[in-house]
Structure formats: structure tokens, C-alpha cells
Structure 1
């Protein structure tokens, strides 16, 4: 077994004194006092700082009396390690700090009297607190926000603006009262309200014993200025070193001023040309003012020295960077020091390097060239992926490059704004599992499905559907058995009671006696028999499959024994894992322990580790992403656990994490980078370096970005109180300088090769044209010619392209036999290649991965198990006939589009038509119009005018219906919205045909006529009408006895439902219709609201005879024209009616269609079929029947 040991010792070279040049030695020999060191990129700044600290220690200064401040944890850690290695001392405390970490340490060392040490809020915690307080201020009416801000108080953007303003207020040195005074002088009512709100915010922090980052700096300044604490700190630190001084803000400058007021040495390293964080409050002016702010003991300005030798960049790269640097404006520094700072010389004059400036006609061409360049450097040049980077001006330009590199097989490490931790899939899964374990009542059907399909459960959708159906069928059988038992008990009870009933009950004269009826029922009305209740429950059916799965996961022991063990295994395993974690929490375990139990409770970690080590493709990248998320989750939970203490509850931790709107800083993993090409913005690249750097998108409008940086609350206008509190507006010249400094930072990240690219669509006259772009003048400042890259046609250097080329050549009849044989040999060699663990290096080369030569796959779990009935309806038969693939995607994969307003329109009209037909609403247009108003507000439209238009159309449709409803047709109404379900046998398979018929009518001959109301605008063609599937399905159901109960022999004499009501018969107070369902358009077979009678068809039954079927087109006039807009009061006519002849008594076309549908589902042959429905299909863009619109290439 291999064993590994983490070696934390510093490199041996760090212990040896460094070889310094003359400028560096001058810094070490500085006699004391304040010193500003101008340190350009790669000039040995860090080495100089370490040696300067070592020199003071060697001179007798205790290392504990040296304070080193910088701006990142990575830099602070490296400085600490290098200093301790160099001086050879075992230091108990920290040597180098970030500004924030040092401020936090002194606040904890010198707490306010009577207060515990403050708790530091993370960025997400601070933001969440701000949003909550803003919402609370609206409810309390304090402060009184200006009317101009009322509309945006609830938005995330407003909270971000407030957060930025409060940070700037503390940076420049204001308190809430000072901001209020400035608001009065500047005439800013928004600042007045914010000053009052800031007071409330600080009070809230005080009550919670918390502090945020801006307040941290402010309190540290106050502490250092305090006579007692400040004197102790000034006595402790005799030498202060500051790295990256150009990034300091005014608050940090005040801190350094107070800390070194006792005469301590202050050595600051900075570069005015790399001052790029003005948006954070760091202005280049702070560095330029250093000599005057930190003076010598005699009152003269501080010394300024410059480091002049560059060890990073090859001479060509350094020369290009000097071309840019000479155009950067700087004033206020000694001329000699500035000249030495700008005139850097390379440490190695003969070192090879390369600088290129390329322009492309399109972004796609630019990206393709970048991908090819990086792959060639790696494959031909041997450059490691981690030694290459692509930099952009904005984060928006990174994703296209990341997608292209990923598609080409290039590993990518993209720095950007991470999603909130709770939104990252792996972390979200563990938090969901933790919540469901801690609070079982919170487990929803959606949670259950997510957990079972997740890596924790390992179920697949087909298996989960099969399990849900099995659970539902088992519950249905149990309900039926219970109803049958209840009915049997009822019969026995009735038979035993009949003899004991009083004689008067049998007397017709006394049956309706109120007193007798009440005494028998024991209540205010007749009791509903228990058997009837159970029968109704059976008709409604058991809970949904999703709810059954939820219940099974909550109690795995409730799963029936006769259900397939393989199907039930995921539920049993996840349920047992949740139960174990719940017991651990109840026994006093911490949330960290519970999360670890969830993480280690399955083989998910092992699978992720294997996928991460596979070294190939998207599977590895996805695994690494999940592992990163899990590491970040445990890091965040650890931090929250430290703050909450041992008594922290799981639900509180979950609430903290799920309330965060953006990612917190991740301590774990931030210092360990994968072997991948870095993609990041120029701002994030500062302080980093690579062998190969590509600076992308250097074109006008993007770089430089000269748009004015205005904020809603005027944050950028705030300045220090001693400067009047207000900063002059930023000028275009200021923006140019800031953008040029940012470009300078980007180009100085390269060690050996620098490539800058731009999209340039300008013509010979230099005009970019509409929607075009033109390369930035920054490209010309590099001093190299800009090369047109439009002719760049690289041969892709990817494994996939190599395999594709070899496959193409192996079957190309135009190629020579020798070439074809060679291609096949190489394919075989690639397919057989494997790494040391036996994993294939080129999976796409193996014929098993060539989809185009493989048979169509089949699932281990059938779409409909053989023992279960195939459930079909008229709409599903239509879908299967038109395109079986679309049926599968919509009905089985549930990948269809959400409901449309047209479907909602139809639901409203059908509901009101049913109420009139069933007699619950009078057949009066004014009454229907009033009812329409009550439900129309539930129908969502994107525009008011559209809602008004459709509302008028609905009224016209109802008017046509009333005209048709009142007409004499020699038939009586016997059913409305009549649901049916009938069991058939088709080709030996059980089939359950279900549906809902809009209206049933019976003629004098006893034949049943089916009516189907349509609210679409189009009529059906004559040829299609004869075999209209939905009408044919309804007639088939009538023929097979599905509606016999409604059309008994005496039905024409005693119709169950009302015929058109006369005015005198209309009810006085009609019931209000229910609002329409706003979910997806329901299958008529699944429409809610009525019990679903299930009747098996039996041989020899005499069933109702279909007399034909009719489509009543409520949006078309009887003359066949589609109805258009009408003037108010203009009468409407009858609707267009299209009739389908009655089905014959024997086998008809619909029987053949039903048989074909059953065979399609049984054989699972779901193929795409072109037709008119393609124009409205959600899957057309990915359908193989439409190659022009996108398909997967498999051959």
C-alpha cells in the first residue's frame, strides 16, 4: 500500500539569501522612516520585501515587531512562509496578514469593554441582512424613502447599491451623521434616508455582536487612534511593510498613518501603472500622495525608489509592455524614480519570446484560433495547461471561450462569479437530504423524486415511473378491496335491520316524514352510505405516483412485499440513510457530522473520485465540479459551526446557506489549481503570471470601455470629509487612463508569449458599419503589426476530430486502399490505447461508441409493463398516429411545453358550456358574460390588449354556443363532460380507453350522438373529418358500452341532464364556476371534477349504438368563415358544425388505429414523423426528421 505524507516545509531555496540587483540592495539599505518602492511587474518585489524584513531581523529587530500587510490570503501565506524560512525562526504567530485579517485580530485582542469579540459577517450574510432590513424598513415606514426609490426597494440591485454605498461611506471616513450632513449640503434626499437607515443597520450589527468588512476597517482605525490601544500597537510594531500599496483605500491609508505615527518604519511597495481597482475605492492618487502623506522626521517628503530589472517577461514581451506604459499618465512622483520605474530592463537579454496582435472578422473565428493556438502550444510546445491563460475585459466574454475549449477537449478553470453554494447541484443535494432527515415533514414529492434520481439514490426515471405505477396499482387494489368489504358489511347490516324497522317506515305515506327521516339519519339530512363513500374514493383513484413515492421514502417499511425488490431498492436505501442521519441528529450529532454521514453513506464519493481520475471529457469535469462544491460546502459548514457553537441546529444552518444570494469566499481549494487553462478577467489576473497569455476582445466599445460609471445612489461621488465629501465627476481622460492601466496589467501577465486578439469588421474607410466592431487602438500601442487572422484555417488538434478524420478516410472510396487500411489500423490502435489503470485513452475510437452503426437501444424497464393496461385516450391516439416520438417525449418523458393561453381560453369556455348544458347556469348571454368576468382574471396574458381581445372572442364563442344550444335537433341531452373509462383487449394486451365527452345526445331511434366543442380557429378538412381520431375514439367508446348507464332505454323519456332551459326554469342564484386550471393542458382522460366509471367490456353485452359525432366550432360562423372582431352589440350567428358519420357495427378504421397504437407502445418503436403538427412541436429543433434545424450526427 502506498502512503503519502503532506510536506508543509518551505522550499530550501527560500532559506538562502537572494541575489539582489543594485536597486533592490538600495531598498535594504534605506536608513529608516517612510519609503515608497515603485515595483513594476516581475521586478522582484516579493523577494525585496522578504530580504528587507530579514535585514531588520538580522540587525536585531524581533520578528514579532514586524508587520507585513497585503491584499490576498494567497500572497499573505506565501510571504509568511518565505519570511519564516528566510530568517530561520519558528514563529508562533502570523507574520504577513491581509488588511482585513489584521484588523479583525486587533479587534478581538482589544474588545470593547463588556462586549465579546465581534463576529465577522461573510459577504452573503451581510447581503442577506441588508435585504431583510430594507424589507423591514418598508413595513415600519422608517426611514421615509424618497418616492423615486420606492419602485426599486425590493430589488436585488437596490440592495447591492446600498451595500456599495455603505462600504464607500466607511472607506472615505464618514459615519451616519456625517453622511446625513453631506446629504443636506448636497441636496440628496436619498442620502438622508440612507444615513438614517445606516444607523439602524449598525445598531442591528451591534445587537448581533457582528461586524462587516467596511466596519471592520473603520473600527480598527478608531482602535489604533485610541490613546491606550493605539500606543500599545505602535510600541509593538517598529517596522511596517505594505505590498500592493496602489490598491489601498482611504480607510487603510488612515490606518497606516495612525499606526506609524510613533516613528515606525513604513516601506510600501506599489505600482501606479497597476492601479485598476477604482471601482472598489482604490485610487491611484493614494500612491501618488504617499511622499507627502508619510514624511520624514524632518518634515521632508518620503523617499521614492524604483526597481528596474524585470525577471518575468522575455525581452519582446517586456518591450511591448513598455510601449503601453509610456502612455500612462502619472504626476507627483520624482522624475528620476518614475523614469527608472518605466525603463525596465530584462534580466535575460537572449531569452526567446513572442508578441502577436491578431484581428478576425468574427468572434467565432477569433475563438477558434485561440483554441487552436492553445492546443498547439500544449501538444507541440509541451506547455502545461496550467501555464496558459485567456484574459478578457469583462466576465461576459469568458463563457463562449470556455465552451469552445471544452468542446475541443481542453481542460478549463474559469474564474467567475460562482453561483450561491446552495444552488450548486452537489451541495444542494446534500442540503436537501439534510433537511429531509432533520425535518421529515418537509419531505415533498419533488424532494423525493430528486433524492431518488440523484447520485444518493441512483434510480433511473423509467424505474421510478414503474415503481410509482406499481405502488399506485397496489393502493388502488387495496382501496377496491376495502370498498367491497364495506359494501358487504352494509348488505349484512341492512338485512339484519329490516325486520326490526317500525312498520311506518315501510309505509309510503310516512317515508318523507321529516321527523322519521331525521331519526333514521341521526343528523340534518340523509347519511351517505359508507359503501358509496368508498366507491367514490375508488373512482377517484389513489394518490398520484409522485405522492406514493414520497410516502414510500418517508416510510420504506410500508412498501408492499410483492413489489419488485430491484425497483424498490433506491427507496429503501435512501430511506434508511435518512433515518440513520435523523437518529444521529436526535442523539446530539452536529450538522457537520450529519452531512458527513450523508456524503459517506453511499458510493457517490467513490464514483466521483473515479470519474475525476478518468482524465477524459465532460464526465471528469462534472465530477470535479461536484467535488469542488462538496469541499466548499464542508468549508462553509465548518465556518458557520464555529460561529454558531456546538449547539447549532441543522435547520438554522440550512436557512443560513439557502438564504445567500451569491457565493461566499471559499478558503478550501482556492490555492490549489487544476492542470487547466485559466479563464479570467484582467482584474482577477492581477498578481498572477503564465507562460502563454491570450488577451481576447481588444476592440472599441469593449476595451477600452469608456461608459461612464454611474450608480443609482451616487456612490462614486463620495470623497473624504477633508476633501469636502464630494469627488469631481470622472472625465473621459480618467476613464481612458483606467482602461489603459487595465490593459497594461493584462499584457504584463505573460512570461514568454503574448497574443492579443480583436474582432475587426471595419472596411477600407475604417468604418465598422452597423452592428460591427473595430479593433482598439490599444493593439497598435504594443509596437507590433496587427495581422489579419481571417485566413486562419487550422486543422483541429482534438481527439474527436482525429477520430472523425480517420473514420471518414476509412470508408472514403476516393481514398486509396492503402490509406483506408492505414486509417483503420490507427483507429484500432486508438481504441486499444489505455492508461496505467486500464481506462481507455480514446473512447470515441471504439466502434461501440459509434451510434450510427448500433441498433436502436431498448430500456430494461418497459414503457408499460406487460401485466398493466395500456392507457390511451383520443388525444394520445392522435399523437401516436401523427408522431409516436412526440407522444413518447410528451406523455412518458414529460418534456412538453407548458400550457398556453389558448389552452386556458378553451378551458374557460368548456367550463361555462358545461354549466349551461348541465343546468347549473341559465342559457342567457348576460348571465354567461357575468360568469366569464369571474374567471377571466385567472387567465394570464402578456399584454392587456391581448386579454381584452381574447375576452371578446370568448363572449362571441359563448353567444354562438347559446344559439346552437337553443336549436331544435330532435335529440335530448343525456350527458355533459361525461368521463369514461373502459377496459378492452387489443391484440392480447389489456387496454384502458379513457376520455371525457363534451356532450352526449340521444335521438328518437335510441342512437347516441357525440358532440365535441372546439375553441380553435381552424376547421377540419373533409378528408380528415371522416377519420377524425378523437371523434372516432368517442364513438368507439359508445359502441363498446362506456356510456350505457347514461343512455338506458328510458333515457329519452327521462333525460338525466337538462335540455335548454326556458326562462321560467332558470335558477335564481347560480353557483360560481371554479377558476380554470392554470397548469398544463389536461388530457381529457385525466380531467378532474367527476368520478371516472370503469366498466370492463364483456362479450354478449348489448351496448348503445353510436349515431355519429359532431365538431361544433365555437370560433367560426356557420357559413364556414372564421369569426373576426365584431362591433359592440353586433349579433353573432350559429357556429360551424362538422359531422362525422356513425361507426359501422363491425370493425372500423378506429379499431385498426387502436391496434397500431398498442403495437407501437408494446414494441417501443417511437419514430419521428413529419406532418403539419411539426410547426407547433416543441422538439423540432432537435428532431432527426428535420436535419436542417439540428440533429445529432451519428454516421
Structure 2
């Protein structure tokens, strides 16, 4: 064994035996190492050692399988080095090359070949490529449709299907629907049984819409929404009681709506029509409110009421008709949907026959045929499954969160009911819903399995790997903060609780930079979604930021390993890299930043590489239409579509090569190509692969062609890299052109693209979030987070859901109108919630990729308004119903930042620089003088537009301004931000003396919650403190720390009497967050904004003006020291005054500091000198 020292959780995952084991492995927790060590522990068990070939190990990709096989080989080699005489270890090492480590499709193919007679297959079957399968599907669909058109009497409901769902014009829409439905049905182990269940469901009568699966779904979602708004209205009504004036104006309307919401919540549990009887929810007009005592609160009340009204209108649309009408509508869709299912199954049979004739299967067949061999219709293992399962000591499955229902059925059948199944995964990283992955499978096991230390013998158990060995503490704290507030069973498929949170396993002890949320304020004109320059503007900001970090000397690492940050340390992650990645690459290149697009397919799909690969395939076998046409269309030959059509016309029946030879008989370009091809084909047998690659490149003049194209240097580098790949092929012992072609195709299919030397080592990488999964980068920029979630799937002609079935529209043929059915509305709700859950998990994957620095960027129209609107509805934790209304990931991040007080993420905003908005396309090469000279000068004069802002904090709390006197603000830098003290558990503080900070906190809590009417005597104050302790507003320790006499003295002073006389204008512990000009606070960085936060202990209103009162528990040795103490807090009090004047729209006339230890107050009138006040 190696020197690996596992954590307690890792050790449990390695050593637990005798039952099904589910390992929930958080990001960066070392799951691959755990898999390797578990396998090695079996092989080196002193009492009962296992053989390596008695394990079935399933990974998500071939690359992952290769990596795992390599690790096992290394571990065995290390073990042999320690015990070179071990015959057993030598045997295991020999078995490594043929151990069953691979993908689910690799296993299925092997099992089907072994049992081809049972599966009805030829043992030499082949797997159809995408193009071949697509052509066969089109032909099968055409046959199934033609059969119905020719004999419509045999398919009575087909005409209705064609007229309604098919739109009655052509069968293009209907054909696309059949192919889509067929693909989605493949998530079921037995699709034909699922189709029968859907037909039966449509035909089964119900008495109430709420009894159907669709009605239950709608009522469930409606109940969640109404429940949320009931709680929200209770909170809003409680908030307005602080101001009698606001209560008089608004309380009656809010109360009536709140009562109606509670009644609706009750009726939703009784049934569909019962709930409809409560609609619409009344929203009586609000009373008139002039000169609100709290404008922020009154605006929040109106905004939240408006949001509730909108939510109830949507609910009313979902319950748009009575139960009987809806059930009748669903019954009317039954015949067409039954016809659709029948057509889809007919198409499936035609497609299966075509594959059988050709000796082909597709990837879906591999899984379904294997599932049928291993389990019966009731899911019980077959005799074959029991026989095969006896081969395996254990079945290990990696990435279990991404399995489908079919794959899960296979694993269950092979593992003796799950008894020897070891599953590793992380449902928070399930991001392949489009591949039919079902995170619910992992969640079901996670919730039903017992913790390993509490499970009974033989009982399935779960183990949580939470220690992250990849990222800095600041990155993990940010991720934990965001997802503890936002991720839940309802939105993300798992509650992000203490079992899900990541723990720092690689803490260097050095403090690093906080992750940043960078909001770019777009020009005011036009909506940001419709702004065509939005992406380019954001990309320019990102490029400028990266350049500033690298050239500004940013460092990575810790201690002796500290080093300068380079461009190769940076990865830009995008949700839609194929859509916008080119824009980011262009803007980085404009600033001279090296960049490589790390997108899968970028190398092999490039023009120059695909031309050589196609030519290699044609040299090997010219009777292949696709590679031959690709070569002819390439820049080396440049055949036009018309010329290719002329070639095809030479012989419409034969393959394209035969037609080309006939067309070439008349000379011209076809003859020239054929001569080159024949020359290369005659030379190829005697050439090693590297020489042949260069020969093709020379014959096609590709290096010269690439030099004339854009990005020529990188294109030439790709050709050289392809030559190096061919060297690797030769050095591995392989020979032969055909094998070389297959080897290259295999690399392309696996996405195993070569790194282009200096390009990848010292260049910024751009890739999708999906592709970044499993990778790590020192610095990550997650960009384009204001892009709206793509809900296109919920707009399909017929919606499909594995559990809820088919969701058609109701079509009225007489009026030629269509509208959503009950089922469609329900499925749309479920699909959109599942989409948002996947987007939440994608965000988790992105935020857990960086090792050291994380930057999240978004381009939005008005950041200040966006933040203010979010602040009005923020809560802890965030309600899923509120988060589900988010338009983009940036909304979630803003909610999380506000709820967390921006403790674990910095917020920065920047304005667009108009000059940077210009983003011309690359022009043809021309003389460097004239019009290019000004552009060159402009680039050379480039200065990072936000350099001054780099020195500013993204947010500042009023408390941090303590000690910053106004007259010398320009001379003194802001004190470094200190980490917020962690509140230690009570048991760790027992017996220790009360600190000054704890005494201050306790006193502020009492003054926040106590009844000021009980402040006239020492006994009454003590009773208030005891009441707060019993009500758990304060702890026992805090109750003992409060100086009751000082509080009595406060309310006997002029300051206290002002507070008592203020009535309902008095506000306590007033929290605020607002963006304010940095220039107001720091006298610099004009145009920049930062987030100012604080909590005003108390303020009141006197004659239309505001008075701020701030309590201090600082020790004051003498009356003479009051001036010095007060001067320390002047910056803080002025920040409070600025904030209240902006929020309330009223002048602050006085700021009073009351020192409880001295029983004295100091008044700081704005603009006047400090003076003592009795």
C-alpha cells in the first residue's frame, strides 16, 4: 500500500464490507483515490484476498477508466517493489490489462456478444455511428408514416393526430415529435410497457382533476407557492406594526389578502374545485400614505404585494377551469396521444428491423438488451443475471449520480439485490439530464440508507466524503454560503446541510482573496437581454481584469510555493461556450492574451485536422462517402455544392467514389483529385504514419493554406501536433493505416484532445461548465451568468416526462385554436423545476473548480436596482419558491450574498467604458500605416479602466470606518478588513471571563428587544433581561454579562428620555445595504460604487428631522476621554447619516454617542465640532 493517509470517512469508504455502500463524495474529496485504495485493500486482504478480474468497475468515460486502470497498475507496481517475491501480486499485475474496468456500454457490449444467442444478435454485431443511425431512423419513420397514409382505416385516430399535433400541413412536425418521444422513452427499462401505462392513464376515468397525477402536481406547486406567501405576508404585517402610520394605511388590505391566502391554503388540500372556489385572491386597494415614516419599508410592502398578486394570477391560470371541464379536455386528447404512442412503437419496430438486417445496434440497444437479459418485466433478476453475478466479488460504479433508470436496473440485477454494490457519486454534480441521467436515483438511496456508523449488519449504508483537498478555504466558504442558502430538495435535489457542506482539507493557514462577483453595468438604453454588445462588453471587462491580475503581479500558492500568476492558470467557464466562447477568445486576443478554446472537438473538428483525417480515411478506403466529400469540400480542393451535385449526377445509384471516377473521365478537377489520391494510395502502404501525415499535408499544400487563414499559427501547430500523435501511434507498437484511422477516431470520440504545447501551458482556457467537471484550475472566471435559463424544452409540441407522461395541447378544430391541457401545465411546472435544479447543480460544479481564486461576472442593466429589488425579498434560508423565480444564476448569487451579508463574496460593480465597447471584426491584412496606426496607438495606450477601483474594497461596513476622521481621510488608508469573529459554542466558553465584545453584543441584544416601558427601575430592567433569557433571545451567559444599572441610567438621561418620547418614530437595529459612490467615502475612484452596510442601533424623528443614537460599551476612564473616544466613531456615524438621508429622504440633524460605562453622551451634529452633552 502507498503512504496515503485516509481521513476517517475515507477509511470507512475503503474498508466497509458486507452490504451496499453509497459514498456521497463532495467536490475535490479524493473519490478516485478511495476507489483505488478500496480495490487494493481487497487484493491485499491477508485473510480472504480477491482476484482483480472478479471486480466489475464502471466509470462514466473511457478516459476515466484509463486513468483508474493506470492508478491500479501503479499501486500494484509499488506493492511489488516492497514485496518483489509475491507471486500473488505478480498475478494481479498481469490481470490488470484485462480487468473489467470500463464504461457501461463497454460492459453491455461484452455481455451481449457473450450471450448473443439469447439477445437475438450476431456475435460480430457493430455499433452504428450517429450518421448511419440517423439515416436508418429517417427511413424507418418514413415507412411507419406511409403505412398509415396508405391504409388510414387501420389507424382510425391517426388522421386526428396528423390534423392536431401534426398541424395538418406536412408530416415534418409530427416526424420530429416521434423521434423526440422515442429518444425520451429510452430512459425506461421497458419503453413499450411505459407506453401502455400512458395509454391506460389517458383512458382511466377520474372524478376530480386533483386525483390525476397532473392535478396533484399542480396542487402541490400551488400549495408551496401559497404557503410561501402566507409566511411572507405574516412577516410583512409584523414589519409594518413598527409604524402606526403605515399600519393604518396598509394593514386592512394586507390582512384581508392574508386571510384569503390562508383559506386558499386550506382549500388546496381538499381538492381542485374547492381550491378554485377561493379564486381570485382579493387584493383590496391600499390606504393613502403621505410622507411615509419609513419609505424603504413602505416601498418593500408595495413591491412584495405586487409580486404576490402576480403569483396568484399565475396560479389562477393553472386552475383555469373546473374539474369536469379539464377531465373532458384530457379525454379529448386521449385518441391522438394513443395514436402517437402507437406510431412511435411502430417506428421503433421498423428501426429495430433495419438494424437487425445490417447487424447493427445503437447505444440505447446496448443498455435495453442487457437489461432484458438480466431482469424480467417485474424487475426480478433472471437466471443469467444470477449466474453472471457470481463472477463478481463487488461491482463498483463511479459517478452514480448520472446513471439512468435502465442502468440502475442492470446494476441491481448484477449485484444480488444490491448487496455487493459500491456506488460513488455526488448528486450536487449531476449535470447530464439531457443524457437521461436521473439524479433521483442517487437521492432515493442517499435518503433511505443509514449512516455507516449506525447501520445494522447487512443494511445498506451511506458514507459522506466532505473534506475538499483542492480549494482554498475562501473558495469553499463561498460555495458553502451560496448553497446552504439556495440548494434544497426542491431546488437541487438535496438539502445542502451539514452532511453536504464541504470542509477544507488543504488549509495553508494563509488568508487568500475572497471570491468576487463582478457586475458590469450596461448602457441604460435598451434591455440587457436585447443588447447585441452585451457579451462583448462583459468579455472586454474579463480580459482587462485578467491582464491586470497577471501584469499587476498577482500571486498564487502559499509559503515557499508562492509564485506569480500566469495566463495558463486561468480558465473561463461558460454555460454556453459554443455560443459565446468565440467572443471571449476574440477579446482576450485583442489585449494580447494567449488563449485556447478547451472545447471538446476543437482540435479534431478544425478544418486542417479534419481534412487530413478524412484524407487518411479515403486513402484507406475511398468508398466512404462522408470522408470523401469532406476532403473535396476542404480548402485544399474547394469543390462547390454545384460541383458535388454534378458528380452525383454522373451515377445516382453508386457510391460517391464511383460517381467521381465517372465524372473524372472527362478530365478537369475531378481527374486532378483522383490522380493525387491514386498517388497517395500507392505510396501509403510503405509509409509509417508520421511520414504519411506530412506527405498528405505537402500534397494538399495545407501549411500554406493555413498560413493564409485567420489564426494561421495555431492551425499550423495543430498539423504538427497531429504528426506528433502519429509518432505516438507508431511508438506504441501499432502498425497499419486502417488501425491508425480507427485510433484517431477513437481519440476524437473520447474527447482526448492533445494539449498544444505552449498554447495550453501558458494560455487562458475557455470551456463549458460541463467540460470542466472533474477538472481544477488555479483561477476561475465564471462568466455570462446573467444569461437567462433556457426553458426551450417546455415549449415542445407535446411535453414528455418519465413520471407524468404526455402533455399535449388541446386543439379545437372548429375554431382552429389550441391551448394547454391539464397535463401540459403540470409537466411544464415539473420540467421547469427540474431544469432549475440542474442549473443549481451546474453552478455548484463551477464554483468548486478553482483552487485559489474565483471571479463570477455578469453584465446587467442596473446593478443597484437589481440588488435593491433582491434585498426586499431576501430571507435566511432562501425560499425555493422565491429562488425559482430567478431568471439567471446571477440572481441566486445576489440573493446569497445579501442573505450572508457579503461575508464570503465581494461585490464589485463597474461601468461600461464606451471606447472598449467597440469590437470590430478582424479585417483583411493591409498596409500597417494609415488607418491602422491610430488603432495601434490606442492599444499601446491601453490602461486597465478599473485600476483605481482595484485598491478599493468591494464593500465596506460602517464599523470599519471607525478611527477614520473626515479631515484626514485622504491621507489615511482604510484599515485592512478583519475576519468576522466566529461565535464559539457555549460549551467552549464555559468558565472563561466575559470579553468586552461579548458584553457589547449582549447589551445591544437587550436594547434591541426589551420593552422600553419597563426601564424605569433596576428591578424592572432585570425582569426584562430575565424575560429575554427565558424567551431565548439571549443566552444565560449573555444575560449575566449585561449591566442593568447602566441601562437604568441610560433611560434616566436626556438621551433616554428622547428615546421614550419618540413613540412609533423610534427604530431599533435598523439594517441597511446600499450602493454608494466610492468618492463620498474615500475621496477617490470617481464613478465607482461600493456596497455600504451597517446596523444603526437606534434612530428617531423630531420635527421632521432624524436623530441617530448609537450605544457604546467601551470603557471610558474619564470625562475628558470622551472627546477622543467620540472622534474614533465620527466616520461610522457620518456613514449612518449618509445612509439614512438617502433611504428615508430626511435630514439627519444630530448623531448621539451614548457611552453606557460612563453614563454620558456626546453629540455629533453634522458639520459642527464635537461637544459634550449631559
Q: Greater relative contact order (Cα 8 A, min sep 6): structure 1 or 2?
A: 2
TM-score computed with the length of structure 2 as normaliser: 0.48
Q: Larger Cα Rg: Structure 1 or Structure 2?
A: 1
TM-score computed with the length of structure 1 as normaliser: 0.47
